[in-house]
Structure 1
Amino acid sequence: MAGAPADGTRGAGARAAAVGPRPRRGALRRRGVGQPVRLQHGARHRARACTRAGRAVPRVGQGRAVCPGPTARAAWGRARPRARAARRADARRRDACPARLSALAGRARPRRRAAHRRAPGRDARHRGPRAGGGLRGGGGRVPRRTRRLTGAVVDLARVRTFLRRWCDTEVALDRLEVSHLTVGPDGLQRVLYEGPGPGGQVLRLVAQRVAPADGRRLEAELNRDYRRSRAPAAPGFVQPAIYAPELELLFQVFPADRRLGALARAADGRAVATALEAALAVRTGGARLASVAVHVVRYKPARKCLFRYDLTWAGGAAPNRPGVVYAKVARREKFERTRDILARLRAAADPLFFELPEPLGTVPELCMELFSPVAGVPLSALFAADNFPALCQRVAAGLHQLHALPIDIGRERRASENAARVAASASEFAALLPAERPRIAALGRTLRARLSAMPSSPSRLGLIHGDFHGDNVVVDGTGLGLVDLESCATGDPADDVGSMWAQLTWLGCKAGAVASTAGRDAFLEAYLRRTDGEAAARVPLHAAMHCFLYAYQCLRHPRRRGRDEHARALLVTCEGILAHGLL
C-alpha cells in the first residue's frame, strides 16, 4: 500500500484508506497487517472482512466496501478457518457449563453457537421482539438483552467471580445468595444479595440494572458522594459502588444506596450519635451518649431501612434514657408524609386495643423517624399455637376499633389505586412464573375489572392500616401490638380484612398438611360480626386481590422453600373466591 512503512506497521496513509468510520463496540479493531477486519453493521457486514495489507479496497458510497482485491480475498480465506475454530471452542466451553434456568424465561440460556449464524448488525437488532429468540407465549419472545441480564443476575457464579477482584478474602462470596428480586417491564431491575460478611456482620449487596452508557458515571458519583459523607469504608470491599460492564449491573455495598443518601450516616454508630442526642434531648435532658450499637432489622433497597439502636449513656441508665430505639430511614417525600402518623394515632384514642410504638422524635436531615420498641412476637409465628384462633378473634376486635378512629391522614386509597396495583403486579408475576402466564393474565383482568366497577362510597371510607397482616401484629402475653403504620390512609376497611385473611391462607399453605383454617375463620367471623352487611359484601373481592398479590410476593424471595407451590395454591384460592365467594 502506498505510504505504508517498510516495517509493516500501519501509517496515516493506511488509516486514510480504511473503509467507513471506526468500528463500533462489538466489531473487531484493526490490529496490523494481515489481520481480518469485521466491518460495521448493515451493508458493511455483508462485505465480510478484508485486510488493508498490500492493496487498498475501493469503496462506493458512504462506508460501503465493494470488490475486495485478491490480497483481501486471500487473507479472508486464511482467516475463516481460524474464526470457525474459535467459535467451536467457545461453544464447547459453554456446553461444558451446566445450563442455568433463567428466572424470567424459565429456560436455559441459548447456546453461543446459535448466535453466530448471522452477524448481529443493525438490521438484525430492529426486526422486532422475536429477533432475539427466547420464550414463546404470552408477550412473545423475551428480548435478548433481558435474557442476558437475567443470566447475569441469577447466575451467582458469574456474580461471585466478578466481585472477588473487589473484596477481601474475609468476604465469604461462596455463601452469597439472592434474597429479594424486583422485576420491571423489561426484566429484572434490582436484586438484593445477602450473606455472611466480615466480623460476623450480614453482607448486603444490591445489583441494579444499568446501561453501559450510565454505569461508569453512576459508579463515580456514588463513590464520590460516599466519600463526602465521611462514612466508614464499605466492609470488605475496595469501594462502595462497583459497575460490572460485562453484566450490565451496578453493585452497591450496604450502606451505599443511591436513593437513600442518608443511609451511610445512619448506619454508622459514631456518626449518628450526635443526631440521636439532639433528637432525644427533650426526653433525656441533654444526656450524652457513650456508644451506639447499630443493627439492621429490615432493608428494602431504594425505599427504606429499619434500624435498632442499642444506646449506652455516658451517665448510666435512667428511666428517661431509652436503652433501645428504633429508627426508620426513608426517602424524603415519604418521610415528610409519614412523620406525624404515629403521634396522631396515639392522640386519637387512648387507650387503643393495640399498643402502638411511641414516637420519640425525628432527624430531618437524615429523613429518620425515631420510635420505641413494642414487645412481643409476630402473630404469624404463633400459627401452630393452640390459642391461635382466640388470638385472631382479638386481632379482629382491635382492627375494627382502628377502623372506627375519626382521623384523616391526608392520603386516600381508592379502588382504582388497587386496580393499578394489580395491573403492575400481573405483568411482573407472569415474568416470574411463566408457566402460569395465561392464568395470571386472566385473573389480573378479572380483578381489575371488578375493582374498577366497585362503587365509590365516601361514607364507607375510614382509617385503614394499609399493610395489615400477621407480621405487623405482635403478641406479648395477653397484649397485642401493631407496628409499621406508615401506610395508613383513608380507604376501604375491607382492604385490611382481606389482607389479613389472605396472609392467614398463605400461612396455611406453608404449614402444609397440618394446616388449620380455624384461625382464619375465627378472624373473619369476629370482624364481620362487628360490621354491617355492605362492608361484609366487599371483603371477598379484597381477599381475592390480596391472595393474588401474596402469590406474587412468594416468588420475589428465592430462598423461601416451596414458593412456586405456595403461589399456585394462592392462585387457586383467588379463583375460588372470584367464582364462589368466601365459603
Structure 2
Amino acid sequence: MIASPAVHQDAPAAEPGKPGFPVDPDFPQLEIASDPTRMLEVFRAHLEPVAGKAYHIEACVPVRFRCRQSTSRCVLQYSLRVIDRGTGGAFDQWVTAVVYARPGDAERLWRELAATDPKRSIPDRWRTFEPLAYVPELEMLVQVFPYDRQLRGLGRVLATEGQEFAPLLRAQAGAGEWRAGAGRLELLRYRSEIGAALRYTLELRDMRSRRSQTRRCYVKVCRPGRGAATFQLMETLCAGHAEAGSAYGVVRPLAYLDELDTLVVDEAPGTALLELLRGRDDPMPAVRAAARALAAFHLSGRAIGPHEPLAEQIHDVERAASLLDWACPEVSDDIRAVAATVIADLTEAPPTPIHGDLKADHLFIAGDRVTIIDFDRVAMGDPVRDPARLYAYLTGRVGLDAVPAERAQVGAAAFIDAYFAHVPAEWRERFALQCAGALLEVATGLFRSQEPGWRRMVSAAVGSACRALSPRWA
C-alpha cells in the first residue's frame, strides 16, 4: 500500500501594501505562473485526465519556485487539490511547470519527452493526468507527478510498492525465521528534478517464537549517480564511528540500488530535534545534547567528502544576495550591505568534516544519544558553517511556524552556547559572519517556498543578518 502526503493549504496572496511576485523581463510568464488563481485556470485548461478518468481541479497552491538559479529557465512546483468526479474523493497532485528564457525550448523538450512514451514509467494506480502537457500561450512545459525526467527511478520504486526493500529490513531483524507481512510505502517529500523521500514500513513475524516486530527504512530517489557517493561516504562514517565509539551516531546505510538510483538507510532512533522544539516538553536537554554531538563530529579529525573552498561559499552568498535583491527590493540596501561584509571579511578556516546542510530535522535525539542523518552535502570546510546554518533555520522559524518566536530564539541561543563550549574558543570569532551568510541563504529558501507571508519572513531574516553584523558596523 502506498500513501502520499497531503500538502494542500490556502493559496498565498500578496500582502497588503506590498508588491506581488517580482518581475523578471527574461521570464514574462512569471506574472501568471506566480498567481495561483490564474494558474488554476491554466491547469484546468491544459491537464488532460487519463482515459476513463474525470477530475475537477479545485485549488492550486505554489510549493517551491526555483527562479534565477540559472539564466535559462525557472522551475515551479505546485500542489493541486483534485476531486475525482466519479467517486467524489479528493487528493493532492504535484505538478511542475518549467519555463525557458529562449523561445521554443519548452516546446522542443515537450516533443522530445513525449516521443519517449512517458506514461509507460508510471504505475497504473498513480496515473491521474497525462504525464506531460504544453501550455503554448506561456511556452511552459508541465510534468505531472510521478513523472520526472530527472528521477528515472521514481516510477519503478512506486510500481513495486517497496517490495525490493523488504529483504533489506528482514536482514536487520536478527536471528529467527522471520516472515514478511504487510508493507507500506509512504511518500514524504518531493522536490521536482532533485529527489523524492519515502518511508517503507514492514511487519515481520518469527515463525518459531511467534514474536513480531516492525522495521522501517527511509528511501531517497536521486538523480542518476547522485546517491552512490553518499552511500559510500556513510559506510565510511559508520565504520569509523564503530571503531572510535564516538559521541555521535550516524544513521546506517542499508543499500544503494543503482538500477533505481535509490539510497536506502535505516531508521534513526529517537525523535527529530525539530519535533522536540515543536512539542510542549522542555527541549533544552535535547538541544544541548545535539550541540555536543555536532562538536564531536567536527572534532573527529576525519577527512571525508570533498574540500569546500572559501570561494565556493562566497559564490553561494553572492547568489543568495542576487536572488533576494530581486525578490525583495524594499530591503536591497541591507541585503547588499550584509553580503559585502561577509564577502570582504570571511577568511579561509582550517577544514574539518561538516554536514553542509544542518537542520533541526537532521538531528535525532534518544536520551543522550544523538544520531545525524542526511549526508548529501558532507564536505571538509569551516565547521562554524553548521551551527550558523542551524541557528539561521531556528531563528527564521523554518518549519516552526506554530512555535512562539521567543521559544525558537531561546533554543537557537542555547544550541550555540553549548556548541561553542565544546570547541576551540577562536571558532566563535567566525560565527557572526557565518551566521549572516547563513541567514541570507535561509531567506532564499523562504522565498522559494512561497508560503503566505514569505516577504515578511525574508525581511525578518535579513534584519537578523544585519543585527549579527552590527558590532562590525559600529
Matching of residue 500 in structure 1 with residue 395 in structure 2: no
Instruction: Considering fraction of residues, name the structure with more strand.
Output: 2
Aligned to 1:276: 165
**Residue pair 1:178, 1:194 contacting (<8 A) in 2 also:** yes
Q: Deviations over 1:353-380 (max 9, x none)?
A: 3443222112111111111112443323
**Residue pair 1:194, 1:204 contacting (<8 A) in 2 also:** yes
Change (3 A) 1:525 1:225: same
Q: Which amino acid aligns with 1:267?
A: L
Aligned to 1:114: none
Q: Aligned with 2:360: secondary structure?
A: coil
Matching of residue 568 in structure 1 with residue 453 in structure 2: no
Which structure is larger by alpha-carbon Rg, 1 or 2?
A: 1
**Residue pair 1:194, 1:205 contacting (<8 A) in 2 also:** yes
Deviation, structure 1 residue 291: 6.0
- 1:404 is aligned, of 281, 296, 299, to 299
Aligned to 1:445: 340
Deviation, structure 1 residue 500: 1.8
User: After the TM superposition, which of the residue ranges 355-364 and 162-171 deviates more from structure 2?
Assistant: 162-171
Matching of residue 543 in structure 1 with residue 423 in structure 2: no
- 1:522 is aligned, of 386, 410, 414, to 414
Quote the Cα distance in structure 2 between the aligned partners of 1:205 and 1:217. Answer: 19
The gaps in structure 1 that reach 5 residues or longer are 1-99, 109-133, 136-141
**Residue pair 1:268, 1:294 contacting (<8 A) in 2 also:** no
- 2:150 is aligned, of 259, 274, 293, to 259
Alignment RMSD, CA only? 3.5
Quote the Cα distance in structure 2 between the aligned partners of 1:476 and 1:202. Answer: 34
Change (3 A) 1:499 1:421: same
Quote the Cα distance in structure 2 between the aligned partners of 1:580 and 1:562. Answer: 29
Matching of residue 164 in structure 1 with residue 44 in structure 2: yes
Change (3 A) 1:427 1:288: farther
- 2:64 is aligned, of 159, 168, 180, to 180
Quote the Cα distance in structure 2 between the aligned partners of 1:465 and 1:582. Answer: 30
**Residue pair 1:212, 1:245 contacting (<8 A) in 2 also:** no
Change (3 A) 1:524 1:158: closer
Q: TM-score, normalised by structure 1?
A: 0.67
**Residue pair 2:153, 2:261 contacting (<8 A) in 1 also:** yes
Aligned to 2:221: 329
- 1:428 is aligned, of 305, 320, 323, to 323
Q: Which amino acid aligns with 2:76?
A: V
Deviation, structure 1 residue 529: 1.7
**Residue pair 1:106, 1:434 contacting (<8 A) in 2 also:** no
Q: Aligned with 2:198: secondary structure?
A: strand
Deviation, structure 1 residue 405: 2.2
Matches within 5 A, 1:217-232: 217-223=108-114, 224-229=116-121, 231-232=123-124
Quote the Cα distance in structure 1 between the aligned partners of 2:249 and 2:438. Answer: 25
Matching of residue 204 in structure 1 with residue 94 in structure 2: yes
**Residue pair 2:256, 2:262 contacting (<8 A) in 1 also:** yes
Aligned to 1:306: 197
Q: Which amino acid aligns with 1:152?
A: I
Q: Aligned with 1:260: secondary structure?
A: coil
**Residue pair 1:330, 1:367 contacting (<8 A) in 2 also:** yes
Aligned to 2:236: 344
Quote the Cα distance in structure 2 between the aligned partners of 1:214 and 1:188. Answer: 10
- 2:357 is aligned, of 460, 467, 475, to 467
Aligned to 2:310: 415
Change (3 A) 1:490 1:260: same
Aligned to 1:366: 260
Aligned to 1:33: none
Q: TM-score, normalised by structure 2?
A: 0.81
**Residue pair 1:464, 1:491 contacting (<8 A) in 2 also:** yes
Q: Deviations over 1:186-230 (max 9, x none)?
A: 597111111445666531111111455233332243342524436
**Residue pair 1:269, 1:294 contacting (<8 A) in 2 also:** no
Matching of residue 383 in structure 1 with residue 274 in structure 2: no
Q: Deviations over 1:277-320 (max 9, x none)?
A: 57668668998867653211111111111111233679989989
Quote the Cα distance in structure 1 between the aligned partners of 2:168 and 2:340. Answer: 48
Matching of residue 395 in structure 1 with residue 277 in structure 2: no
Deviation, structure 1 residue 252: 0.7
Deviation, structure 1 residue 462: 1.1
Quote the Cα distance in structure 1 between the aligned partners of 2:341 and 2:423. Answer: 27
Quote the Cα distance in structure 2 between the aligned partners of 1:309 and 1:201. Answer: 21
Q: Which amino acid aligns with 2:39?
A: V
Aligned to 1:191: 76
Matching of residue 250 in structure 1 with residue 250 in structure 2: no
**Residue pair 1:551, 1:566 contacting (<8 A) in 2 also:** yes
**Residue pair 2:290, 2:365 contacting (<8 A) in 1 also:** no
Which one scores higher on RCO, CA 8 angstroms, separation ≥ 6? 2
Aligned to 2:373: 483
**Residue pair 2:317, 2:441 contacting (<8 A) in 1 also:** yes
Q: Which amino acid aligns with 1:389?
A: M
Q: Aligned with 1:307: secondary structure?
A: strand
**Residue pair 1:298, 1:307 contacting (<8 A) in 2 also:** yes
Aligned to 1:295: 186
Q: Deviations over 1:64-120 (max 9, x none)?
A: xxxxxxxxxxxxxxxxxxxxxxxxxxxxxxxxxxxx969xx9469xxxxxxxxxxxx
